[in-house]
């Protein structure tokens, strides 16, 4: 029944479009022969196109609404609430022996299955397995298929192996030209930037619009250190990261008291200041002409041709990305990472729970900047040339899009987001006239139909067995 309503609505819309575009697309006055051409076929195209478009639009909206309904807790039945209330009651009737019993369950935990510690008698009709399912299934709402793929331990290992193998042999495949390897390396660079920004935006919830400034700091660190002191890539890598971190802290201090929109504006301003300084302070940064002739990274003094160097940087980026993933993953499941997420969720409550918001924000800023600094150094080495034009606001927006599109707070999401957003425009070069249009369209569609990103961040699940917890 709703389908018919949808079709009717779409038909009405199609008719409207046909009517509205009638003067433009159907009638054409031929001024030379003074006749009017009627192009009825165009009307048909408009009608069919708008009908299909509208129908698809409606279909996705309905699907989304249904999905949202699924996101709601899977009917936490009255019985389950009763259970918890019941435990409260149980404690009320025998408050004195409650602590003793608690200690006992913590030690032996006989009744603890799937994080449920309800005295056996209370469960009664509800089998422990059901409770287990109820609690676990509801934690990641409406598991997307991608999640299911990565979560399944049986599939996970082969999948990782295939990915690793593909990553390793990719540069040696016949179709992998220098260009191909280059764009993939570029995508990896954005993976790193995205993961770094993910700390600030995705985890700590600080809308940072000037991330590119730290990228620039990293790139210029290497460029200038090489230019003035002849410092090589491997020394510049940690130095660039360190300088970017310091910059993050310096920027962090004034913006710490700001929230939301105000923070976004200040960071945006900071990035512009950085770019303008680089552009105009000729003595320091050589202005818009930039710094050229930055050496590529060396491998124990071994000289490589362009293709070899490209492959080398590719593997270097793979390594750095793995390092980033490792560190960010550990951070987000740590005391600090939890504090960031809490800060994102509710700053007032977070502070009232004893988290120092200043310290938390500062670490988020500093650590986020570190990755930008590292990526910046690699960027300078890869292109062998830096100038301020590479560090415009558009870059910040791009990195932010990667984080938002990929899924805030999700490592996998950010990685996929970076590959999609960086590689799509490259491979769409064939349709270069429409590629920005397509790109924009994809972004709009994503934000309407899947605002949580490609992969939404999932909270860690803790299982309790025999008193000691097992983490997954």
C-alpha 235/C-alpha 192 separation (Å) is 19
Q: DSSP character for 431?
A: G
Q: Which residue of 46, 131, 188, 377 would you call a contact of other proteins, by CB under 8 A?
A: 131
Kindly state whether residue 69 participates in binding other proteins, applying the rule CB under 8 A: no
Q: Which of 38, 51, 40, 39 is nearest to 12 (CA)?
A: 51
Kindly state whether residue 75 participates in binding other proteins, applying the rule CB under 8 A: no
Q: Which of 265, 274, 278, 272 is nearest to 208 (CA)?
A: 265
In angstroms and rounded to an integer, the radius of gyration of the C-alpha atoms of the chain is 28
Burial of 121 by CB count in 10 Å (0-12 exposed, 13-18 middle, 19+ buried)?
Answer: exposed
Kindly state whether residue 121 participates in binding other proteins, applying the rule CB under 8 A: no
Cα 156 to chain center, whole Å? 21
Considering only residues 288 to 347 of the shown chain, the ones binding other proteins according to CB under 8 A are 327, 330-331, 334-339, 341-342, 345-346
Kindly state whether residue 178 participates in binding other proteins, applying the rule CB under 8 A: no
Cα 468 to chain center, whole Å? 33
Q: How many CB atoms lie within 10 A of CB 379?
A: 26
Per residue in 123-153, is it b (16+ CB within 10 Å) or e — as a string? beebeeeebeebbeeeebbeebeebeeeeee
Q: Which residue of 196, 248, 290, 357 would you call a contact of other proteins, by CB under 8 A?
A: 357
Q: Which residue of 150, 177, 289, 356 would you call a contact of other proteins, by CB under 8 A?
A: 356
Kindly state whether residue 23 participates in binding other proteins, applying the rule CB under 8 A: no
CA distances from residue 148 to 75, 119, 166 in whole angstroms, order as listed: 22, 33, 22
- In the bound state with other proteins, the residue whose beta carbon lies nearer, of 277 and 327, is 327
Q: How many residues of this chain bind other proteins (CB under 8 A)? A: 64
- Which stretch, 90-98, 149-157, 222-230, 285-293, contacts other proteins (CB under 8 A)? 90-98
Kindly state whether residue 135 participates in binding other proteins, applying the rule CB under 8 A: yes
Q: How far is the CB of 125 from other proteins (least distance, A)?
A: 15
Kindly state whether residue 363 participates in binding other proteins, applying the rule CB under 8 A: yes
Q: How far is the CB of 129 from other proteins (least distance, A)?
A: 13
Helix (H) or strand (E) segment spanning residue 43: helix 40-71
Considering only residues 91 to 120 of the shown chain, the ones binding other proteins according to CB under 8 A are 91-92, 95, 98-99, 102, 105-106, 112, 115-118
Q: What residues are paired with 381 via a beta bridge? A: none
Binding footprint of other proteins on the chain (CB under 8 A) = 72-73, 76, 80-81, 83-85, 87-89, 91-92, 95, 98-99, 102, 105-106, 112, 115-118, 131, 135-136, 138-139, 141, 327, 330-331, 334-339, 341-342, 345-346, 348-357, 363, 367, 457, 459-462, 464, 468-469, 471
């Amino acid at each position: 029944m709703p389908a018919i309503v949808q079709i009717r609505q779409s038909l009405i819309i199609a008719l409207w479009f046909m009517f509205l575009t009638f003067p433009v697309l159907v009638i054409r006055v031929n001024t030379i022969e003074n006749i009017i051409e009627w192009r009825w076929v165009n009307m048909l195209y408009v009608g069919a196109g708008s009908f299909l478009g509208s129908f698809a639009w409606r279909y996705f909206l309905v699907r989304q609404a249904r999905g949202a309904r699924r996101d709601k807790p899977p009917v936490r039945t009255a019985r389950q609430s009763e259970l918890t209330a019941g435990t409260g009651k149980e404690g009320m009737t025998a408050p004195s022996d409650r602590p003793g019993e608690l200690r006992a369950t913590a030690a032996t935990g006989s009744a603890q299955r799937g994080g449920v510690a309800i005295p056996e008698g209370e469960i009664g009709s509800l089998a422990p397995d059901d409770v287990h399912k109820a609690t676990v299934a509801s934690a990641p709402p409406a598991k997307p298929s991608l999640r299911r793929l990565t979560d399944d331990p049986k599939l996970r290992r082969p999948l990782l192996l295939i990915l690793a193998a593909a990553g390793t042999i990719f540069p040696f495949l016949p179709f992998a030209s220098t260009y191909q390897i280059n764009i993939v390396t570029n995508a990896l660079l954005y993976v790193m930037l995205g993961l770094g920004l993910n700390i600030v935006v995705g985890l700590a919830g600080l809308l940072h619009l000037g991330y590119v400034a730290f990228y620039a700091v990293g790139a210029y660190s290497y460029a200038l250190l090489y230019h003035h002191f002849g410092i090589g890539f491997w020394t510049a890598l940690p130095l660039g990261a360190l300088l970017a971190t310091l910059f993050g802290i310096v920027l962090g201090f004034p913006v710490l008291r700001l929230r939301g929109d105000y923070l976004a504006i200040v960071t945006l301003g900071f990035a512009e200041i950085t770019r303008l300084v680089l552009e105009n302070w000729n003595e320091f940064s050589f202005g818009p002409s930039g710094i050229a002739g930055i050496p590529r990274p060396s491998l124990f003094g071994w000289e490589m041709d362009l293709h070899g160097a490209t492959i080398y940087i590719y593997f270097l980026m793979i390594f750095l990305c793995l390092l980033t993933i490792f560190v960010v993953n550990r951070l987000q499941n740590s005391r600090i990472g939890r504090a960031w997420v809490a800060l994102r969720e509710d700053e007032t409550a977070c502070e009232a729970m004893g988290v120092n918001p200043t310290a938390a924000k500062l670490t988020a800023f500093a650590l986020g900047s570190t990755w930008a600094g590292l990526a910046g150094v690699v960027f300078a080495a890869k292109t062998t040339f830096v100038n301020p034009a590479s560090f415009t606001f558009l870059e910040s927006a791009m990195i932010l899009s990667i984080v938002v599109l990929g899924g805030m707070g999700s490592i996998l999401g950010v990685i996929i987001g970076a590959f999609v957003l960086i590689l799509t425009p490259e491979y769409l070069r064939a349709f270069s006239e429409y590629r920005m249009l397509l790109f924009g369209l994809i972004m709009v569609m994503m934000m309407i139909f899947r605002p949580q990103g490609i992969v939404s961040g999932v909270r860690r699940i803790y299982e309790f067995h025999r008193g000691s917890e097992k983490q997954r």
